[in-house]
C-alpha cells in the first residue's frame, strides 16, 4: 500500500503538519509505504479553466502539479491536512484541489484512462481551526467529501482539531490518536 499525505498549511511543524505526521505514522505501522507532499514548497498555480485537460487528461500548466497528479494516481490513499483560513481551506490547498480538474473530461466524468487507478482510492482529511468549535472547518469537509463522492473515491473520514498557536495540538493526545487511526485505516485493505 502507498499512502500519500498532502499538507496544506504553510506553517511547517504546525498543527496540521503534526497531525498529518501522526496519520502517516499510523499508515507506516500498518505496513504502508508513505510519502508526504508539502504544498507550500511546490509551485502550483490556480486552474485556468482552459479546457485542455478535458481532452488530454493532462494540465496545460507545466508546474509541480504535473508530478503530483502522477503521485496521486499511484497512491492507494491520500490524506489531506489543512487549517482553516477565513472559514475555508488555505490558498495552497485550494490551488491543488482545483487542479484535480485534470482527472475529468468535458462532462465531468473521470477520464477513462484514470478510472482503474482512481476508482475506490481512499481519501481522508484532517482539519485544524483556532476556533474552539471544530465545525468551523465544515466547509472544507464539504468540499473534500463531495469531491470524493463525485469522483467515486472512497471517503474514509475526517479528524477535526482545535489549536491556535504553532504546535499546540501536540498536547492533545486524543486527537493525535484519531489522526494515527485515520492513517491505519487508510493503509488497511
Ligand X SMILES: Cc1cc2nc3c(=O)[nH]c(=O)nc-3n(C[C@H](O)[C@H](O)[C@H](O)COP(=O)(O)O)c2cc1C
Give me the residues that bind ligand X (CB under 6 A), please. Answer: 9, 11, 14-17, 83-87, 128-131, 136, 163-164, 166
Cell, residue 27: 499508515
The bridge status of strand 2-7 relative to strand 33-38 is parallel
Judged by CB, which is closer to ligand X: 16, or 148?
16
CB of 110 to ligand X, least distance (A): 31
Triad 118, 121, 124: Cα angle to 5°: 135
Task: Give, as one character, the DSSP assignment of residue 45.
Answer: P
3-state SS, residue 136: helix
Contact 163, 117 (CB under 8 A): no
Judged by CB, which is closer to ligand X: 11, or 117?
11
Judged by CB, which is closer to ligand X: 15, or 22?
15
CB of 98 to ligand X, least distance (A): 19
CB of 13 to ligand X, least distance (A): 8
Distance CA 136, CA 132 (A): 9
CB of 175 to ligand X, least distance (A): 12
Amino acid at each position: 500500500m502507498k499512502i500519500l499525505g498532502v499538507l496544506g498549511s504553510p506553517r511547517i511543524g504546525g498543527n496540521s503538519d503534526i497531525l498529518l505526521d501522526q496519520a502517516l505514522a499510523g499508515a507506516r505501522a500498518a505496513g504502508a509505504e508513505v510519502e508526504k507532499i508539502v504544498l507550500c514548497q511546490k509551485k502550483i498555480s490556480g486552474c485556468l479553466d482552459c479546457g485542455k485537460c478535458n481532452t488530454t487528461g493532462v494540465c496545460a500548466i507545466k508546474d509541480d502539479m504535473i508530478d503530483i497528479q502522477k503521485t496521486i494516481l499511484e497512491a492507494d490513499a491520500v490524506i489531506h491536512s489543512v487549517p482553516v483560513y477565513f472559514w475555508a481551506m488555505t490558498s495552497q490547498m485550494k490551488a491543488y484541489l482545483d487542479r484535480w480538474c485534470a482527472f475529468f473530461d468535458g462532462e465531468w466524468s473521470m477520464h477513462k484512462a484514470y478510472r482503474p487507478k482512481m476508482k475506490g482510492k481512499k481519501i481522508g482529511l484532517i482539519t485544524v481551526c483556532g476556533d474552539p468549535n471544530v465545525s468551523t472547518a465544515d466547509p472544507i469537509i464539504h468540499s473534500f467529501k463531495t469531491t470524493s463522492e463525485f469522483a467515486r473515491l472512497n471517503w474514509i473520514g475526517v479528524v477535526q482539531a482545535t489549536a491556535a498557536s504553532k504546535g499546540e495540538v501536540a498536547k492533545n493526545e486524543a486527537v493525535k490518536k484519531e489522526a494515527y487511526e485515520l492513517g491505519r485505516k487508510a493503509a488497511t485493505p
